[in-house]
């Protein structure tokens, strides 16, 4: 299986979902609830999380 490498640039701060076949971002929501709502009824969706900003602190360990 070919690994999927999604480019999240331009989606910083958004909650995203990917097309499971291509890895392309197909939903970019402002919050978690909106992400789940927009994903309902759609096929081939993988829900990611929030895309961090480049200068955002990353917690060490379980972020």
Partner 1 sequence: MRLGEPLYRPFVPIALANGDQTTFQLTGLIDTGADSVLASDYLADQLGIDLDDHDGETILGVGGHVAAVRYKTIGIRLYPKGEDEPCIEWQAPVGFIPNWHSYGFVLLGSVGFLDQFTVTASRFAQAVAVEHRDAFDDRFGPVPVS
Of 18, 8, 14, nearest to 34 (Cα)? 14
Of 26, 23, 22, 25, nearest to 41 (Cα)? 26
Helices (H) and strands (E) in the chain, counts: 1, 3
User: CB 52 → partner 1: shortest distance, Å?
Assistant: 7
Tell me, residue by residue from 26 to 55, as one string, x for binding to partner 1 by CB under 8 A and - for no binding. Answer: ------x---x--x----xxxxxxxxx-x-
| Cβ proximity to partner 1, 28 vs 50, nearer residue | 50
Which residue ranges make up the site for partner 1 (CB under 8 A)?
1, 3, 5, 17-18, 20-21, 32, 36, 39, 44-52, 54, 58-59, 61-63
């Amino acid at each position: 299986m070919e690994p999927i490498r999604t480019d999240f640039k331009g989606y910083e701060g958004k909650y995203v979902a990917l097309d499971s076949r291509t890895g392309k971002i197909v939903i970019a929501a402002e919050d978690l609830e909106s992400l789940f709502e927009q994903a309902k009824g759609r096929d081939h969706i993988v829900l990611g999380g929030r895309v961090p900003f480049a200068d955002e602190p990353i917690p060490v360990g379980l972020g």
